[in-house]
């Protein structure tokens, strides 16, 4: 099942990735990590066949030390 997966950054940017095959994980990465990335994130996926959108995931906190 192909889907768009969205990564929502609380109070900041939204990132997305398209997965064109069935898989149970999508990986997001930051090339240069900085303090601006230390936030709460949630994921959500959108599929077109059958049309649907998931609920946003539980929040995940990214902590930089």
pLDDT band at 1 (very low <50, low <70, confident <90, very high): low
pLDDT, position 14: 83
Per-residue pLDDT of 39-55, as tens digits, reads 999 999 888 878 899 99
| Cβ contact 8:40 at 8 Å | no
Domain that holds residue 33: 3-61
Residue 19 has pLDDT above 80, yes or no: no
Mean pLDDT of 46-65: 89
C-alpha 62/C-alpha 59 separation (Å) is 10
pLDDT, position 33: 87
DSSP state of 13: -
- State how many domains the chain has: 1
C-alpha 65/C-alpha 55 separation (Å) is 30
- Considering only CA atoms, which of 4, 10, 7 is closest in space to residue 45? 4
Mean pLDDT of 15-41: 82
């Amino acid at each position: 099942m192909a889907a768009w997966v969205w990564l929502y950054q609380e109070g900041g940017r939204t990132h997305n990735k398209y997965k064109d095959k069935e898989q149970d994980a999508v990986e997001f990465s930051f090339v240069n990590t900085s303090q601006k990335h230390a936030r709460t994130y949630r994921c959500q996926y959108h599929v077109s066949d059958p049309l649907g959108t998931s609920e946003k995931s539980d929040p995940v906190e990214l902590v930089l030390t």
